[in-house]
Amino acid sequence: MAVVLITGCSSGFGKLAALGFARRGDTVFATMRNVAKAGALREAAAAEGLTLEILQLDVTDRASVDRAVAEVIARAGRIDVAVNNAGIGAVAAVEDFDDDEYLRVFDTNVFGAIRVTRAVLPHMRKQRSGRIINVGSLSGVVPSHFRGIYSATKSALGSLTEALFYELHPFGIHASVIEPGFFATEIGANRMETRRQASSDYAPLLAKYEPGGSSAPEGSKRVDPQPVVDAILEAAFEEHPKRHYAVGNDAVALTDLRKRLPDEEFAQLVLRSMPTLDDQA
């Protein structure tokens, strides 16, 4: 059985992934910035008779990352799988982010994943084995309006995963990125709001964009996130895992469309789905 470290486990994909690994009998270290929010995970694990360990880990704090990884090594002796799931959502016009706001999104979604990866890799190299799994997003493959900063962080995760795949190959370590579409998680409720978005010139457009979500194929359906957990488990244990996992009907359809259509044709498809200032509320 594997020793698994997962970040961002208080809710969403992280919580579900922790339960998924625990069902296999893996040794799971489910981490989160605020362990006071571990109640839902503890209750779900207890309801199924599952065993997992909960640790404090703030991906924006190098000391916290190093301390948590050291504890896993001290207690389990190795790390076979690291799942970089911790993230923060943000929906606002690019112009409406102040410096500290977009830095906060990047610090969590990108630099946090780098900190965790950097901390676990010496142990994986020593083992000559391991899996790094980054939880990206369809938004990182097909960016859309009002998700520019968030999309940029998830695009960065995709690029980092590609680079890690090549760099780590000689050491027997594999890197994958999971790129889900729209699933039923708490990221919407937990996302950051910028100071200026409510009073900005983009506010009327954002207000019309928000209620319906994406009008692209399957995009507005918030479905059971279990396929995302299945993809994480596949990336962790398949002999020859993929580098990119598009998960969900919308992710598969839009990723394919983006590859096949010329830029201008794809842009027109997106523009037709967008609200305009002349639309009736």
Q: What ranges do the domains of the chain cover?
A: 3-198+221-251
Q: Which candidate in 102, 150, 202, 209 is catalytic? A: 150
Q: What distance in Å separates the CA atoms of residue 173 and residue 121, rounded to the nearest whole number? A: 9
pLDDT of 279: 60
Phi, psi of 14 (to 5 degrees): -65, -45
Q: What distance in Å separates the CA atoms of residue 115 and residue 112, rounded to the nearest whole number? A: 5
Tokens linked to 276: 């305009």
Stated as kind and residue range, the H or E segment containing 135 is: strand 130-135
Q: Which residue in this structure is represented by tokens 């969900």?
A: 248
Q: Quick check: is 150 catalytic?
A: yes
Across 136-214, the runs of DSSP E, i.e. the strands, are: 173-180
Q: Which residue in this structure is represented by tokens 């799942």?
A: 83
Q: Which CATH architecture has domain 3-198+221-251?
A: 3-Layer(aba) Sandwich (3.40)
pLDDT of 222: 56
All residues at 6 or more sequence positions from 32 whose CB lies less than 8 Å from its CB, including other chains: 7, 8, 9, 10, 14, 38, 54, 56, 57, 86
SS3 state of residue 189: helix
Instruction: Give me the DSSP letters along 209-273.
Output: HHHH---STTTT--B-SHHHHHHHHHHHH-SS--SEEEESHHHHHHHHHHHHS-HHHHHHHHHHH
Cα 41 from chain centroid? 18
Instruction: List b or e across 183-204, with b for residues whose CB sees 16 or more CB atoms inside 10 angstroms.
Output: bebebeeeebebebbeebebee
> For the chain, which residues score pLDDT lower than 70?
184-190, 210-222, 279-281
pLDDT of 274: 81
Contact 54, 30 (CB under 8 A): yes
Q: What distance in Å separates the CA atoms of residue 202 and residue 225, rounded to the nearest whole number? A: 31
pLDDT of 154: 97
